[in-house]
Amino acid sequence: MNWFQKPEYPVKAQLPRIEHHEQLPEDAVELARIADPNSERYTIFFVRQGKYLSVLEAGSWLLKDGTPRYRCSQVDFPLGVLPWFADALTEFRKPPAQGGLHAGAMTSADEDVEGEMLCIQRSMNAGRGVGGYAIVNRSRSDHGKLWKNDYHPQEITFADNFLYDAGLLDLIKDLGEKYRRGEL
């Protein structure tokens, strides 16, 4: 029995891997950062790499024995994800009577965003018992070591309170508007 997913779409080449948020590749530019209210450890960084956006979740902490630890995860999208996400999330949340998805829908249809297939999925546990939404890029395989030789789509999940109460959605909308105006 094969437990591994097969890609539905052509898989794009990986962007340069960012191992540390303070050591960006030569042409990469940090666009914004915002602390995750559900974690004392992690901050979300939006980094432009050419025509692409890398979203980093980075943080450091000490183990009980005082040993320092650092983690930086990365998901990549075309820059067009910024305006797309805000619009797609609005559509995803519409009730069926207003043209939204059917009742109980947990994922949107895959959409071509600048040549990459993206969707939104509802997450029932996005951290500390809160729901949220995941952005899934089916055109890129995860950077993680667990999936090194197998396909697993890249995705990042944001909790509802992070999006709506802590300003993440407003930040994404602002970056999306700058992208539409050609300012990124």
CA distances to 82, 98, 112, 160 from 102, rounded to whole Å, are: 25, 10, 21, 20
pLDDT category, 98, cuts 50, 70, 90?
low
- Nearest-angstrom CA–CA distance, 43 and 54: 14
What percent of the chain has pLDDT above 70?
A: 88
pLDDT, one tens digit per residue, over 38-49 is 888 899 999 999
Query: Would you say residue 182 has pLDDT above 50?
Result: yes
Query: Would you say residue 168 has pLDDT above 70?
Result: yes
* Chain mean pLDDT for the chain: 88
Residues facing residue 121 across a β-bridge: 107, 134
Section 127-132 average pLDDT: 82
pLDDT at 1: 41
Section 133-142 average pLDDT: 92
Query: Would you say residue 81 has pLDDT above 50?
Result: yes
pLDDT, one tens digit per residue, over 26-80 is 999 999 999 998 888 899 999 999 999 999 999 988 889 989 899 999 999 999 9
pLDDT at 147: 53
Extract long-range pairs of 107-112: CB within 8 Å, 24+ residues apart: 107/136, 110/8, 110/9, 110/138, 111/84
pLDDT category, 184, cuts 50, 70, 90?
confident
Query: Would you say residue 22 has pLDDT above 60?
Result: yes
